[in-house]
């Protein structure tokens, strides 16, 4: 792809602007203004794909991507990965035969999209990797992927597990419902689950199986483990959709007071479940940042040219998010000094919901 958007960068790039460094406010606004003024005359054409729109995290990410695409005058064609690596591969074989200004992807499984993505990159098109690795990091760089925008999956799992373990009292039986085995984010969450338990010999893992992001599978796994271990004390699921499905099975079994459940993503439904005590904790995997930043990075590369974008945008951009619990630090001795309290002695849930509704976090 040749750069067709002739943009004078003297002011826009003043100060060494990089997307990865967080786009200085004035410069980002300048870029948005520039793109909005030229959206009709110089549209940017993009292909985007997530692992599966049946997942609430992926659907929210699509909404955020479309929001940012509208701001920047980007025409997005979405290719649903359908939580099926073979189907997503077939769609990328199609994508590789067409012309795009940029492509952004959250792969189902590491390694399955390497060949068509390499063809897309070799044609001069910017590719942004979202959330999970297309290929191992060294290969990703060799391929020429523009940037990898992702959360710290180990941190998210460990943060939630710390709350789960505390509720368990450091002992008892626990089960783990994983994501897709080839999804590097799920692999990292599984490792975070194990790392959290390393110092607790009195906690027994009685089940550890992939739920493949599928709520029906998660429910079936929960029913099975409860039948075999009616004294189960906790469940950790790799995403909120599966955690909420597991929690419903726990409540149907009349074990709501016995079994604590934690998940990852901090989706609105999970935040409400944390607030009402159904989930002990979740951690924000910021789909709005990941998908929105991917659109910004892709539109920027389409505007200034791929090589210039590669020189300015880091290969890895961390999209971080907080752990969320229902607990409020309300020490009355610190009421006059709320800055010494966690979250200023307030709940973060309402703010999280607002940020997500605005496609900010």
Q: What is the pLDDT of residue 29?
A: 74
pLDDT tier at 35, thresholds 50, 70, 90? confident
User: Mean pLDDT, the chain, as a whole number?
Assistant: 92
Neighbour order of strands in the sheet with 74-78: 74-78, 44-49, 102-105, 126-130, 147-150, 316-318
Task: Indicate the CATH number for domain 153-283.
Answer: 3.40.50.2300
Q: How far apart are CA 95 and CA 92, in angstroms?
A: 5
Q: How far apart are CA 157 and CA 339, in angstroms?
A: 27
pLDDT tier at 304, thresholds 50, 70, 90? confident
**Whether pLDDT at 4 is above 50:** no
Q: Where are the domains of the chain?
A: 25-151+287-318, 153-283, 328-357
**Whether pLDDT at 11 is above 70:** no
Q: How far apart are CA 174 and CA 154, in angstroms?
A: 18
Cα–Cα distance list, 182 to 189, 226, 278, 310, 315 (Å)? 12, 27, 29, 28, 22
Q: How far apart are CA 192 and CA 159, in angstroms?
A: 9
25-151+287-318 and 153-283 share one CATH topology? yes
Of all residues in the chain, what percent carry a pLDDT higher than 70?
A: 93
Q: What is the pLDDT of residue 224?
A: 98
Total-model pTM:
0.90
Residues 6+ apart with CB under 8 A from 191: 154, 157
Do residues 353 and 268 touch, judged by C-beta distance below 8 A? Answer: yes
At 195-214, the pLDDT tens digits run 999 999 999 999 999 999 99
Q: How many Cβ atoms are within 10 Å of 339's Cβ, its own excluded?
A: 7
CATH superfamily for 25-151+287-318 is: Response regulator (3.40.50.2300)
At 119-131, the pLDDT tens digits run 999 999 999 999 9
**Whether pLDDT at 19 is above 50:** no
């Amino acid at each position: 792809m040749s750069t067709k958007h002739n943009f004078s960068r003297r002011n826009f790039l003043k100060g060494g602007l990089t997307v990865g460094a967080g786009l200085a406010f004035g410069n980002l606004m300048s870029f948005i203004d520039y793109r909005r003024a030229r959206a009709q005359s110089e549209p940017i054409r993009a292909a985007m794909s997530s692992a599966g729109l049946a997942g609430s995290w992926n659907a929210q990410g699509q909404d955020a991507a479309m929001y940012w695409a509208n701001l920047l005058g980007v025409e997005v064609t979405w290719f649903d990965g359908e939580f099926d690596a073979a189907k997503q591969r077939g769609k990328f074989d199609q994508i590789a035969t067409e012309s795009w200004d940029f492509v952004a992807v959250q792969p189902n499984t590491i390694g399955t999209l390497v060949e068509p993505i390499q063809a897309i990159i070799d044609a001069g098109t910017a590719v942004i990797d979202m959330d999970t690795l297309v290929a191992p990091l060294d290969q990703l760089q060799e391929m020429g992927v523009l940037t990898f925008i992702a959360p710290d999956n180990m941190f998210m799992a460990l943060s939630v597990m710390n709350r789960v373990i505390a509720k368990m009292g450091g002992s008892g039986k626990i089960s783990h419902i994983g994501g897709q085995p080839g999804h590097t984010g799920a692999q990292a969450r599984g490792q975070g689950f194990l790392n959290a338990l390393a110092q607790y010999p009195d906690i027994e893992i009685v089940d550890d199986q992939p739920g493949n992001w599928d709520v029906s599978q998660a429910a079936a796994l929960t029913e099975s483990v409860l039948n075999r271990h009616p004294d189960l004390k906790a469940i950790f699921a790799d995403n909120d959709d599966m955690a909420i499905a597991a929690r419903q099975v726990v409540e149907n079994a009349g074990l709501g007071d016995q079994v604590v459940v934690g998940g990852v993503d901090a989706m609105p439904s999970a935040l409400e479940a944390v607030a009402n005590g159904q989930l002990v904790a979740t951690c924000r995997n910021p789909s709005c940042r990941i998908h929105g930043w991917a659109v910004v990075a892709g539109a920027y590369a389409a505007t200034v040219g791929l090589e210039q974008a590669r020189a300015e945008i880091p290969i890895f951009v961390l999209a971080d998010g907080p752990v969320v619990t229902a607990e409020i630090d309300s020490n009355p001795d610190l009421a006059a000094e709320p800055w010494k309290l966690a979250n200023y002695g307030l709940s973060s849930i309402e703010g999280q919901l607002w940020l997500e509704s605005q496609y900010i976090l």
